[in-house]
Structure 1
Amino acid sequence: MKNYKAYLIDLDGTMYRGNERIAGAAEFIDELNRFSIPHLFITNNSSSNPEEVASKLTDMQIKAEKEQIFTSSMATARYIHTKNPDSKAYVIGEQGLFDALAKENIEIVTHSADYVVMGIDRFITYEKLAEACLQIRNGASFISTNKDKAIPTERGLVPGNGALTSVVAVSTGVEPVYIGKPEPIIMEQAIQKLGVPKEEILMVGDNYQTDILAGLRANVDTLMVETGVSSYVSIKENHQQPTYLVGSLEEWKIHKVL
């Protein structure tokens, strides 16, 4: 096992399920801090801003600073800004997505948008979906923060943003640009933010289809934990396997980097 110089760490299913902390999560982060190993919490959850995510972790006794949070909303906003800093966006989502777009000075509009941007929206309505379809048919580019079909909560798996996005994609016949894991956009931005060569980074997560594939596609080593979506049984026939697989973070030993 390598001694990794930096970590990218998923949240839902890895650090917590809904509002329940997962066993070993706090101790895992304590060990990273004890050895001064830089790490980012990288999440497809677009609903919260970095301050809220850090506060949630802290409330669970998992040490985190807002600067260590990297969300699909942040990656989406940066992506749009690099394409055209004067872009206008019609947005379906929650406060975290609106905050991220505002920080990149992306104008939020209800018509004549350059982009339709979709993130998880637990207050989704037919009218929001209808307007998104109309905007895309009028020429707006289609972006989705992530393609997660389901997300783990303390209640079990519930519909994710990918499920909502599919409604608009099917209706318009337009496939969106996805930003979050396993797509390369969010990984490239996160690796750049860490400032560590990718061969020295370990991606940690519970979902093979998002976290592990993100690492595999980015040529980053991966550690899969069986505390969320995926299990050994569910992935054992897959051609590409995670670099490491453990039942929980309690089984993973962190070593000081010399």
Structure 2
Amino acid sequence: MTRPRPVECWLTDMDGVLVHEESAIPGAAEFLAALTEHGRRFLVLTNNSIFTPRDLRARLLASGIDVPEESIWTSALATAQFLDDQRPRGSAFVVGESGLTTALYEVGYTMTERDPDYVVLGETRTYSFEAITKAIRLIEAGARFIATNPDVSGPSQQGTLPATGSVAALITAATGRQPYYIGKPNPLMMRSALNRIDAHSESTVMVGDRMDTDVISGLEAGLRTILVMTGSTRPHQVDQFPYQPTRVVDSVADIVPLVAELRPLDGPS
């Protein structure tokens, strides 16, 4: 068998790996500082389409974590890139917030309710029945259905919130049309992230906290994967999946020593 290539680039999830809500996870700042110090190319990935990279940079800074805007890759940015590749300068009816609308505007898309090419569903904290009804009617009239990510719920300080996947299921039930999801676990998002930092899948590692999004999308994109135990997937759940990460660690703090070592990552140690 071919020996794995040394790790040169890193992709990492944000929530559950670097932060919990507004609080940094111990070791996150040191991990990112090590990446910068040793010249490792990296991106912070998130399925959250609410915020722009500038917004997310400010949120991370408030937690004591310094990430440049250009090192943040969201499902909104991946969605905009996908639509620009598919139908340049097209039109869309958007159910979402500034992270999504800004990304689409920046690739030249027009936001409209009149015969749009696409209905694009993202995450928002204020889903409108009127907007969902409009989306349903436009899809019935022929608009193509895109969703930024399949997450059915998300956390908040008050408890669980419905997320993009839940609202997409509602629209599907009404229209019979399934959306095309762009964000994790679609490996398309991983491929777009790799291209953004000119990285090769065989020399890149994905760090995540969820087996059903982070690990599987990394695996399907040909990356090695590290699962941290500070987020969604619990230790007793790991063996229940038919696929496994390259390595399981307690937290991102355990990865800091690996950044300096330009060597292969080949399983548990």
Q: Deviations over 1:139-169 (max 9, x none)?
A: 0000000001222445554322111211111
Q: Does 1:257 align with 2:262?
A: yes
Match for residue 29 of structure 2?
26
Q: Do the aligned partners of residues 41 and 212 (structure 1) sit closer, same or farther apart at CA in structure 2, a change above 3 Å counting?
A: same
Within 5 Å, which residues of 2 pair with 1:137-148? 137-148=140-151
Q: Does 1:72 align with 2:90?
A: no
Match for residue 89 of structure 2?
86
How does the TM-score come out when normalised to structure 2?
0.91
What percent of counterpart residues are identical?
Answer: 33
Q: Distance in 1 between the 2:109 and 2:14 partners? A: 27
Q: Distance in 1 between the 2:7 and 2:142 partners? A: 45
How does the TM-score come out when normalised to structure 1?
0.95
**What RMSD in Å do the two structures reach over aligned CA positions?**
1.6
Match of residue 174, structure 1, among 177, 185, 196: 177
Q: Does 1:61 align with 2:61?
A: no
Match of residue 217, structure 1, among 217, 220, 236: 220
Match for residue 5 of structure 1?
8
Q: Distance in 2 between the 1:220 and 1:160 partners? A: 27
Q: Distance in 1 between the 2:58 and 2:178 partners? A: 35
Q: Do the aligned partners of residues 161 and 111 (structure 1) sit closer, same or farther apart at CA in structure 2, a change above 3 Å counting?
A: same
Match of residue 43, structure 1, among 46, 68, 75: 46
How far 1:256 sits from its partner (Å)? Answer: 3.6
Match for residue 158 of structure 1?
161
Q: Distance in 1 between the 2:16 and 2:152 partners? A: 14
Residues 20, 154 of structure 1: 8 Å contact kept = no
Question: For structure 1, which segment, 112-121 or 11-20, has the greater mean C-alpha deviation from structure 2 after superposition?
Answer: 11-20
Q: Do the aligned partners of residues 159 and 226 (structure 1) sit closer, same or farther apart at CA in structure 2, a change above 3 Å counting?
A: farther
